[in-house]
């Protein structure tokens, strides 16, 4: 069955700094052309006598299949990344960027600089979730063939000239700025959530498995500041600073982290700890599920014991 192009997921007349003419041409000719090319390549492969075809012909066609496939997929991600109406970034998305890059501003500076550095050339800049470390990285890609093995791109900036030349000519920097002004952050965040959940499902801990483990409250700082209770015996740590405090944790203990609902904040923090060599899991359902099950809570203390002291080997809760 032939693949079909997907329609633009936004009103092409509503974006700022990117014209409807540019977007329609990009969608129809470049993205649509990749889909048509992939269909043709697959048809040719299906009819190819594999046992008698010279290896160089098969290799060449498989390379073209890879290029056309990634061109299709990255264009779909590119268009799905656009259409935002200057909406604010979700706090949890900002936290994820801060945890991986130091701050949202640092992420933005690197992402835009990479895009502008590709001006006059060709390629992609991708914000990619890397499950091995539970982090987000800005990835350079060219020729539609570069990807981090196992990574999941959640935001794509097309830096081929067809993406901007009709509107901006050689002024690639102005195009990058326009792209950044039109990002649909709700969709980016949704893709981030799905990527984290898919990668972390296997190491969730149930409420009954908390006993005997070292428990860390990793709710976002703003959320924790407003909270009045926490799970007994837990110590709060800022999830955006996980790379720093992870070094304080005893490697011979089991660590369970929890956030509000057991979604991407707790899951991604556990992944970061696991990448650091620690036996870490996240609490399914978070503190909300804990409370809903009638489990005990304690008042949040005015000041907590230093987590560094609590993390020394042999320390008992």
**Model confidence pLDDT, tens digit, residues 257-275:** 999 999 999 999 999 999 9
Q: Tally DSSP H helices, then E strands, for the chain.
A: 13, 10
66, 111 Cβ separation under 8 angstroms: no
- What gap in Å lies between CA 71 and CA 62, rounded to an integer? 14
Closest CA to 235 of 303, 312, 295, 313: 303
259: CB partners within 8 A, 6+ apart: 218, 219, 220, 239, 265, 266, 269, 282, 286, 287
How large is the average pLDDT for residues 31-50? Answer: 96
Structure tokens at 172: 């690639």
Q: With contact defined as beta carbons under 8 Å apart, do 81 and 186 qualify?
A: no
- Binning pLDDT at 50, 70 and 90, where does residue 304 land? low
Cα 115 from Cα 124, distance rounded (Å): 8
Q: Is the confidence at residue 310, as pLDDT, over 80?
A: no
Dump pLDDT digits (tens) for 178-216: 999 999 999 999 999 999 999 999 999 999 999 999 999
* Burial class for 303, CB neighbours closer than 10 Å (0-12, 13-18, 19+): exposed
CA distance linking residue 27 with residue 35, whole number of Å: 11
Residues 26-38: what's their mean pLDDT? 97
- Evaluate the CA torsion angle 88, 93, 99, 100 in order and state its sign: negative
Query: Tens of pLDDT along 136-146?
Result: 999 999 878 88
89-107 pLDDT, tens digit each: 999 999 999 999 999 999 9
Average pLDDT, the chain: 93
Task: State the pLDDT at residue 145.
Answer: 84
Using the predicted structure, report yes or no on whether residue 305 has a pLDDT greater than 50.
Answer: no
- The 10s digit of each residue's pLDDT in 159-175 is 999 999 999 999 999 99
Question: Would the pLDDT of 302 be above 90?
Answer: no
């Amino acid at each position: 069955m032939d693949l079909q192009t997907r329609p633009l997921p936004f009103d092409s007349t509503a974006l700022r700094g990117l014209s409807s003419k540019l977007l329609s041409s990009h969608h129809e000719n470049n993205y649509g052309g990749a889909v048509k090319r992939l269909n043709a390549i697959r048809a040719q492969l299906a009819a190819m006598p594999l046992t008698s075809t010279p290896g160089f012909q098969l290799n060449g066609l498989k390379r073209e299949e890879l290029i056309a496939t990634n061109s299709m997929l990255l264009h779909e991600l590119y268009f799905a990344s656009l259409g935002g109406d200057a909406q604010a970034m979700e706090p949890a998305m900002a936290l994820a960027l801060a945890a991986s890059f130091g701050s949202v501003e640092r992420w933005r500076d690197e992402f835009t600089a990479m895009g502008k550095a590709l001006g006059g050339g060709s390629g992609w800049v991708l914000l990619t979730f890397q499950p091995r470390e539970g982090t987000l990285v800005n990835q350079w890609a060219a020729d539609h063939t570069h990807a981090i093995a196992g990574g999941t791109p959640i935001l794509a900036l097309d830096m081929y000239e067809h993406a901007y030349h009709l509107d901006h000519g050689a002024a690639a920097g102005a195009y990058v700025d326009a792209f950044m002004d039109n990002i649909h952050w709700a969709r980016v965040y949704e893709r981030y959530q799905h990527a984290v959940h898919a990668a972390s499902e296997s190491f969730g801990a149930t409420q009954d498995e908390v006993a005997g483990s070292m428990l860390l409250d990793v709710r976002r700082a703003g959320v924790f500041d407003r909270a009045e209770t926490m799970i007994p015996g837990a110590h709060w740590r800022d999830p955006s600073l996980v790379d720093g405090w992870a070094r304080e944790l005893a490697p011979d203990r089991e660590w369970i982290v929890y956030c509000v609902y057991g979604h991407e904040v707790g899951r991604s923090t556990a992944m970061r700890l696991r990448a650091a060599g620690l036996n870490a899991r996240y609490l399914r359902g978070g503190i909300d599920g804990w409370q809903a099950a009638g489990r005990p809570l304690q008042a949040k203390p005015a000041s907590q014991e230093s987590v560094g002291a609590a993390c020394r080997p042999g320390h008992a809760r």
